[in-house]
Structure 1
Amino acid sequence: MESNVVALNTEVCQWKKNSYQEFMRFLQFQLLSLNIGNIREHEFFSKKFCDGGLAIGRHGLTAQWLIDCMGQVMSTDTVKSITCHQLDSDGFVSQIIRVAVEFTNNQTKKYIVKMPETTNIKAALELTTQQKMPEGADEQFIGGLTMFFNREVDFYQMERIPGLRLPQYYHSQQWDNGKVTGAIIMQELTGMVSVPYYESLNIQQISSIGSQLLNLHLFSIGMSDEWKEKFTFPMEFIDTVSNMTDIVKLYVSRNPELEEGFSRVEKMYTSRALFVRLLRDSHKALGIDDYLCHGDLWFYNLLWHPVQPGSESASDHLGAIIDWQNVHTGSVAEDFCHMLTFCCDTETRRFAERNFLPFYFKQLKTAAKRAGKHLNLTLLQFLRAYRRNFIAHALHLPFIVSIMLCVKPAQDETVQRIRNKQLIQKVIGAWEDALEAMNDEYPDFAL
């Protein structure tokens, strides 16, 4: 698929209106599902292994725990030394530790140990609000974090989806707060890079992602009941996006060029029933079966091979999709909506909608036929499912933009201002197309 598509050639905000509790409620799902890197209060470093008590992370796990879990590939007798340190790619809700194991045969292998924590949520909120939060405020996230972390554990413990590019998985354990530390041990994807949130994917990169979604969607046809029951649609998402109006208003108030567009879409933000209709039910109303969705397919969950070894620039070849904490069953178009809306400028997104999506459907149809599966889906249904689900992501976009400009600002004010202007244009384009889709798909909703 990747070779058949033509390639296409801000100020830091602060929260001044609601209480900490209200703000955290608005941000909860985003911070639980978003992985952005470099949001943490302090470094963690473990010295070399000398006995089984070497700490791995801050949550009570040790070198002996790692050796016991990895018994198929290592033992105390074969391990010469272990060193570990925290990666720069920590997200809001994870501590991620790189573990380098030197064996007695002088070979060295590297692993990732991912553990849940709320420290980075607090740090992110303080960056966004520009205010110090009270001690323990992040503890209210534990319930949601447990659900999301254990969902990713379940995903890795299920059968492998053919063709899907994932880190190699070794071991995982469910998180039971206060009793068992949640953990996932996986391959370190050395040298892979992400595209920054303020840039845009190109069509060849979109095509590379599409080749992976093809595997996910093909697997979803005739998906077992076990998958459907384990990964139901998360209503927590509905609760959050239907309560993000004030944060979007704050972003609009700091960028007057958004005021006219916001006045036309503001009513949509205040309708929880509309978000249920768009996100959970829109594909079902079209007669489309549930498909498996990554649920957070955006910049920092897409890892690319670099253009050359050591480069920070991404090539057009997708290396892996990570962070499956929000995997669920839903619309066949959801991951495309999320990725194209959040990761592309308006011109690229519209080009992909016109040209790539029909091409992708043909590829899916061909692949299903080759696999002996019945694709209960037409091109018109697929495109309408995309337009309906897209509306919600277009409304969601300025919410995420406002957060990212705060937690990952440019060091130079001029660069920050340029980034913000580019993102404003992306928001305006998304709102324009969302309005058109609403008029076509939901003429009964009075704007």
Structure 2
Amino acid sequence: MESNVVALNRETRRWKKNVFHDILKILQLRILSLRSGNIREHEFFSKKFDRELLPIGRHGLTAGWLIESLGQLLNSDAIKNIKCSQLGSDGFVSQIMRVTIEFSNHQQKRFIVKMPETTNIKAALEKTTQKKMPEGADEQFIGGLTMFFNREVEFYKMDKIPGLRLPKCYHSQSWKLGKTTGAIVMQDLRGMVSVPYYESLNLQQVASVGSQMINLHLFSIGMPDEWKEKFPFPMELIDTVSNMTDIVKLYVSRNPVLAEGFSRVEKMYTDRELFVRVLRDSHKSLGIDDFLCHGDLWFYNLMWLPTVSGSETASNHLGAIIDWQNVHTGSITQDFCHMFTFCCDTEIRRQAENVFLPYYYNQLKTKANNAGKKLNLTLNQFLRAYRRNFIAHALHFPFIASIMLCVKPADDENVQKARNEHLIERVLGAWEDAVQAMHEEYPEYSL
């Protein structure tokens, strides 16, 4: 199908009757697509709307491709204009465009177009290390990125999990290097908000996320083999977390108050087999079956209803879970470990561990029984699985904290300092509890 080939190739064929016109248009499109998402250029060309020329992002896709991909969702003859803007909430490995389609009857439809991207993660690492990476360094991420992006494509093609709040997906195409531009066209969640990385979820918000995770875990009990085959545990995740030592050491060097705590956990950072043990295999050694995991359940993948319409403040009601690039089968506790460690202050995290987790287990067991499913899991196994898996996320957190402070700094120096101090407290609490968990669960491991 034409929608599954790079748009530039299709446009070249369409314009081949006029060689000069062909060359001129392709040069214009190439120049635009190589720009860093400059919204002014997008708006300029949208005013003189040409669906063959208007780029959607910088990866060769055009308005014509989008109209064709959406098919019956649109009356293409009634389209008056298309406007594109790049969201400021681009992911580390994605370019995200908001596309507004205007019709002749003055109605509008909005869509989000998500495409794989390598330059963002490169830029993030450069800001964190304050060192220029060599040209082409971002290409080292392409292999893993292809796998992760295509996992999300496959996820949206699977049968919908009952009760799980997701953005609607209207079109998706896998990323095939040199052949097909990866893209997902989905619902625009405009109006929903996220909690900033330097704040903390409260227990009511934790419970709201839990009300969604229970649907994922219920589905996982006796899940079809197709899900297990399509979404095995990604060893690329192990590679990521076991190669973060230099960034963590840099963060510690910038914040000497972390030095003593780091000295107690430094050995674990350089032990790749330990990450395999606590992240991939910890639940298996306890006799627990695999469950579906979101894999990256943190602030910017949790979309909240605002306290009031138009507000930037999140309520306690979760609207949707987005970004399923790391979906996989693994520990039932992995998403809770990630969310509690990355999104909660130490006090709230410990309350969630002591109060919410036992409550959640009992709720899951009750719902499983009501659904005629057997939960082969005891409360003790559940809590031990959490403690083991938590170790990996406690080690991972300062890596992300360091990057986020550099990528999304505050404008005011005092505010930035306060944010950093807040995150330092969270890091120290995570390290302290990780050491305790190691003593309890792996007493043979010498720290």
TM-score by structure 1 length?
Answer: 0.88
- For 1:165-199, what per-residue CA distance to the aligned partner results, in whole angstroms no more than 9, with x for missing partners? 11111010001122111110000001111111111
The aligned counterpart of 1:143 is: 143
Alignment of 1:150-169 (within 5 A): 150-169=150-169
Moved more, 213-222 or 239-248: 239-248
Aligned to 1:342: 342
Give the 5 Å matches for 1:69-80. Answer: 69-80=69-80
Contact 1:41 1:119 in 2 (8 A): no
Cα-Cα RMSD: 1.5
User: Secondary structure in 1 aligned to 2:409?
Assistant: coil
1:302 aligns with 302
Q: In 2 relative to 1, CA 443–58 (structure 1 residues): closer, same or farther, beyond 3 Å? A: same
Q: Conserved in 2, the CA contact under 8 Å of 1:111 and 1:185?
A: yes
Q: Match of 2:290? A: 290
Quick check: 1:172–1:183 contact (8 Å CA) kept in 2?
yes
What is the CA–CA distance in structure 2 between the aligned matches of 1:128 and 1:77, rounded to whole Å? 48
- Shift of residue 41, structure 1, vs aligned partner: 4.9
The 1:83–1:128 alpha-carbon spacing in structure 2 relative to 1, beyond 3 Å, is: same
Structure with greater contact order relative to length (CA < 8 Å, sep ≥ 6): 1
Q: 1:41, 1:100 → 2: CA distance?
A: 20
SS of the residue aligned with 1:72?
A: helix
CA distance in 1 between counterparts of 2:122 and 2:393 reads 25
Deviation of 1:130 (Å): 2.1
The residue aligned with 2:326 is 326
SS at match of 2:303: strand
Q: Which moved more, 1:320-329 or 1:51-60?
A: 51-60
1:245-394 to structure 2, matched below 5 A, reads 245-394=245-394
- Asked whether the 8 Å contact 2:51–2:62 carries over to 1, the reply is no
SS in 2 for 1:304: strand
> Distance in 1 between the 2:36 and 2:78 partners?
35
Aligned sequence identity (%): 74
Whether the 8 Å CA contact 1:59–1:181 is kept in 2: the answer is yes
> What is the correspondence of 1:223-238 to structure 2 with a 5 Å cutoff?
223-238=223-238
Q: Tell me the distance in 2 between the aligned counterparts of 1:413 and 1:134.
A: 30
Question: Is 1:43 aligned with 2:38?
Answer: yes
Equivalent pair of 1:68/1:75 in contact (CA under 8 Å)? no
* Cα shift at 1:268: 1.5
Q: Distance in 2 between the 1:165 and 1:187 partners?
A: 12
User: What secondary structure does 2:72 align onto?
Assistant: coil
Q: Is the 8 A contact 1:174 1:182 kept in 2?
A: yes
Tell me, which stretches of 5 or more residues in structure 1 are unaligned? 1-39
In terms of Rg, which structure is larger?
A: 2
Amino acid at match of 2:274: L
Instruction: Give the conservation status (yes or no) of the 8 Å contact 1:253–1:259.
Output: yes
Write the distance in 2 (CA, Å) between the matches of 1:43 and 1:305: 29
> 2:299 and 2:206 mapped to 1: Cα distance?
11
Aligned residue type for 1:122: K
Q: Secondary structure at the match of 1:71?
A: helix
Unaligned runs of 5+ in 2: 1-34
Q: Which moved more, 1:288-297 or 1:249-258?
A: 249-258
Alpha-carbon deviations, 1:88-126, whole Å to 9, x = none? 111122111111112233321111111112222232222
Match of 2:67? 67
Q: CA deviation at 1:277?
A: 0.7
Alignment of 1:86-105 (within 5 A): 86-105=86-105
Contact 1:174 1:180 in 2 (8 A): yes
- Name the residue aligned to 1:123: 123
SS at match of 2:73: coil
More helix by share: 2
Taking the aligned partners of 2:59 and 2:253, their CA distance within structure 1 comes to 41
Does structure 2 conserve the Cα–Cα contact (< 8 Å) formed by 1:217 and 1:292?
Answer: yes
**CA contact 2:115–2:182 (8 Å) conserved in 1:** yes
